[in-house]
Structure 1
Amino acid sequence: MQEISRVLGRVDEIRRKMVDDESKVLFDARLRFMFDKDFYEFSKAMFSLERKWIIPYLDKTYNFDNDYSEIVLWGCGKDGRHVRSLLARSKYASIPISFVTNNMSQWGQTHEFEIDNLNVVRTPIISPEELRSRINNAVIIISSIAYRCEIMDQLGSYGAKMEQIVYPFTYFGYRLYGERETPQYFDLFEANSNEIFLDVGANGGGTATDFVKWCGEKGYKAIYSFEAHPRFIDITKEYFKNNNLHDAEVVPIAAWDKKDTLDFSISLANGNGGCHVMESANLNSNDWLDASVKVPADTIDNVLSGKPATFIKMDIEGSEYKALVGAEKTIKKYKPRMAISIYHKPEDIVMLPYIISQYNPDYKFALRQYHSGMWETILYCF
């Protein structure tokens, strides 16, 4: 905590290293979230950025050309406004959209918000009876966590079919979410010849394929995929074999700040699945599955033993800071470009760029958001 307080005194310096306005907007929003934990305020900043979102669930589930003609959001609180903002930044912006609520004092009103400096989105708030009259033409998104069972019963009494109803908030997070169109981790840079890629947190090997596509005709020199869990090590090796990836090595350790043995856990905490290492597993908690798996850990510097790296991708569920400490020599000597997940811990927004700046003050930064929730914020370093 003392170190975080010290680093907060360098916030202005870190912000000046952000190379564009999008990065500064996201940095400021993440910094506020570190203190207020207000997702809605973060999402307002995120949706203020002028770009489109893809919404995979709607894309694959509904045909708005033939089967449905409108979208109705049941609930116009913070969750409803978040979903409305997402729709306004997608291809569904041109489809008629309404809020519906059982609160009769809001019927006939219009909710307004700015989508950018030029345009205001106006969304009517209708009554359930008005929805009933056109129920067959609507996709209904339940954008309220409270009373969701009662809302489902009410929709059923109106004749709504289950396939018309979208409930965004599933146990594992958002079913209804937006994705950025551009590829995560490989969005900001163009590949150089003979790239040497450190995929820290391989999780099956798919990112290595994205790396190979990114390199294109320039090719690459080597791939080192760090994966600690025995099950995922085998999956990654099999993936490399099936996809004919040459010069691709699975490094069977967890990237850390020292040589150690750690607990590897599959977490369902807070409704979000994730796999990560811990110095000490909480074996009494129901949040953990598989907490007894012990895995070896070591530093990137020790693994490479002086060999170069040109590009480091790091997505290891909150262990990024420890892994960066263990990569100090590599970063200082070779100055690799990096794409690092910066959303797992609120304080990472300052701690990660700070430590990288300590290794080399010439590093510049950019931030990009790839998910319409709180996840998938990536720090690019170059």
Structure 2
Amino acid sequence: MSNSEKGVLYGTDEAADKQKALRASGNMDAGFQEMADKVYAHLTDEISKKIFEARLKYAAEKDLGYITGLESKYRNLNSDMQVYVEKIQKGAHVMIYGAGVAGHYLFGRFKGFGVNVDCFIDQDESKGPVDGQTGIKVITEKDLIDNKELYGGKTVVISYPVKPVAHEVRKRLIDEIGIDEKNIIMGIFDWRNNQGQYFDYFAPGENEVFVDCGCFDGATCFNFAGWCGSKGFEHIYSFEADPKNYEKSKELLAPLGKCELFPYGTSDANKKVYFASDAFETSCIISREEAEKKNFEGVTEIETVALDDVLAGKRVTFIKMDIEGAEYEALMGARKLIMENRPRMAISVYHKFEDFVTLADLVLSMHPDYQIAYRHYGFDDLETVMYVE
């Protein structure tokens, strides 16, 4: 079969070429607006339209206020996130507990929407007195005790994503240091709605077969099983490229049964790529240039696969992708699978400015009768999910 014939069967290459050109340019132009108009016509409800309009304005003007200013009825926020919305406003001053990967990530997010990070708190004195990555002061718990008048009234955001560790820190801050519990916000796991994400838009069907691209810690697979409930499910195919996350997930997912875990990234072809591996949820595929900028520190080579190859001939009903900006290539590598199965999909569309338009345009080139919905699960520009059915 020729490439042109494959293009007709599995989604047009012409659409893909337009999107590649747009992604390379990084600009919004008439072609982008044309795609946006096409996608808008396929949106299913008012919530989706409001989110789409906000992201379109944000993409054009780079003003985060278009997203943070969305009314709560247009954002799927849980009660913990409402606390963040109330306490961490533009101009607020906070201290981040933990000067590691999660703490640095929070610093970057807070900086992006105008929250001032006054210092990190970390018991590892070697990380201070100034954080080498951000230039922010690093203090210890002893410094908190010795300078209660200076620090005692400020909001502390605990960055640790492991709940038992975060709860232990919280208890220590309250009991031993005297920080008011109302001034403590728990960590990474609270700044988005992880429970409903990917599964609160669709109702489960019979004999669901789930493809999880970006397994991370295995939680999404368990959430899928819980979503299926008494109906049960037929099978799970899960992909996790980060070696440490893969090993953790392999152990955690074993009791679930009917779940195959693959140590690969998903892309448009079977190949080797550079990968920034931090055993966190932000591990991602990077270019050689980006690897060189890092002096190859924390960089490894991984294998990617095309879903069309590894799942050839398999029945699939639901695909989820949250793979740090590689969603476009992964969808290109799944065109045959999508054309043959017409699965429902939950795709993250916030990693690159154009994803909320170009990824929708790409799936519509495969099935023009697909309907599109958007839901937003974060309090900044992160965690917008596109639902396709």
SS at match of 1:274: coil
Cα deviation for residue 282 of structure 1 reads 2.3
2:343 to 330, 336, 339: 336
Using a 3 Å threshold, how does the CA distance of structure 1 residues 160 and 22 change in structure 2: closer, same or farther? Answer: farther
**Number of residue-to-residue matches in the alignment:** 298
Tell me the equivalent position of 1:210: 223
Return the letter of the residue paired with 1:19.
T
Percent of pairs identical after alignment?
30
Report if the CA contact (8 A) 1:264-1:276 is conserved.
Answer: yes
Return the letter of the residue paired with 1:204.
D
Report if the CA contact (8 A) 1:267-1:287 is conserved.
Answer: no
1:310 to 317, 321, 324: 317
Cα deviation for residue 348 of structure 1 reads 0.3
Report if the CA contact (8 A) 1:256-1:299 is conserved.
Answer: yes
1:49 to 57, 71, 74: 74
Cα deviation for residue 157 of structure 1 reads 12
Cα deviation for residue 18 of structure 1 reads 1.1
2:48 is aligned with 1:23: yes
Cα deviation for residue 147 of structure 1 reads 7.4
Output aligned runs, 1:100-119, within 5 Å.
none
Tell me the equivalent position of 1:263: 274
Using CA pairs below 8 Å that are at least 6 residues apart, which structure has the higher relative contact order? 2
Greater gyration radius: 1
Using a 3 Å threshold, how does the CA distance of structure 1 residues 21 and 211 change in structure 2: closer, same or farther? Answer: same
SS at match of 1:223: strand
Tell me the equivalent position of 2:10: none
- Distance in 2 between residues matched to 1:365 and 1:72, nearest whole Å: 31
2:372 is aligned with 1:365: yes
TM-score normalised over the length of structure 2? 0.67
Return the letter of the residue paired with 2:376.
Q
Q: Deviations over 1:152-174 (max 9, x none)?
A: 9xx999975845421569799x9
- Identify unmatched segments of 5+ residues in structure 1: 60-70, 81-142
2:387 is aligned with 1:380: yes
Return the letter of the residue paired with 1:274.
T
Tell me the equivalent position of 2:98: none
Q: Deviations over 1:218-254 (max 9, x none)?
A: 001110011122222211110112xx11110011211
Using a 3 Å threshold, how does the CA distance of structure 1 residues 162 and 25 change in structure 2: closer, same or farther? Answer: same
Cα deviation for residue 329 of structure 1 reads 0.5
2:134 is aligned with 1:145: no
Cα deviation for residue 214 of structure 1 reads 0.4
Q: Deviations over 1:192-211 (max 9, x none)?
A: 11110000000121110000
SS at match of 1:187: coil
Tell me the equivalent position of 1:282: 290
Tell me the equivalent position of 2:34: 9
- Distance in 2 between residues matched to 1:35 and 1:267, nearest whole Å: 32
Return the letter of the residue paired with 1:327.
A
Of Structure 1 and Structure 2, the greater helix share is in 2
Cα deviation for residue 10 of structure 1 reads 2.3
- Distance in 1 between residues matched to 2:66 and 2:322, nearest whole Å: 25
Output aligned runs, 1:233-248, within 5 Å.
233-241=246-254, 244-248=255-259
Q: Deviations over 1:90-137 (max 9, x none)?
A: xxxxxxxxxxxxxxxxxxxxxxxxxxxxxxxxxxxxxxxxxxxxxxxx
- Distance in 2 between residues matched to 1:38 and 1:267, nearest whole Å: 29
Report if the CA contact (8 A) 1:201-1:227 is conserved.
Answer: yes
Tell me the equivalent position of 2:209: 196
Tell me the equivalent position of 1:254: 265
- Distance in 1 between residues matched to 2:252 and 2:117, nearest whole Å: 43
Cα deviation for residue 285 of structure 1 reads 2.7
Cα deviation for residue 40 of structure 1 reads 1.9
Tell me the equivalent position of 1:102: none
- Identify unmatched segments of 5+ residues in structure 2: 1-19, 24-28, 93-113, 120-135, 162-185
